[in-house]
Amino acid sequence: MGSNLAMKRILITGAGSGIGLATASLLSSKGYHISATCRNDASRERILKTCSGQADVQILDVRDYAAVKNWVNSVGAIDVLINNAGLGYFDPVAEGKIEQWHEMVDVNVKGMLNCIHAALPALTEKRGHVINIGSVASRNVFANSGIYASTKHAVLAISESLRLELAGKIRVSTIMPGATNTEFIHKTDNQTLLKDYVPYFAAGLDPATIAEAILYCVESPEGTVISEITVRPDRKII
The reply to whether 148 belongs to the active site is yes
Low-confidence ranges of the chain (pLDDT < 70): 1-6, 236-238
pLDDT in tens, 43-81: 999 999 999 988 999 999 999 999 999 999 999 999 999
Catalytic-role residue among 32, 89, 148, 200: 148
User: Beta partners for 36?
Assistant: 12, 57
Contact 173, 224 (CB under 8 A): no
Question: What is the per-residue DSSP string for 99-134?
Answer: HHHHHHIIIIIIIHHHHHHHHHHHHHHTT-EEEEE-
pTM of the model: 0.95
pLDDT attached to residue 163:
97
- 3: which residues sit within 8 A by CB, 6+ positions away? none
What's the pLDDT at 236? 67
Cβ contacts of residue 53 below 8 Å, gap of 6+? none
pLDDT of residue 176: 98
Question: How much is the pLDDT for 22?
Answer: 98
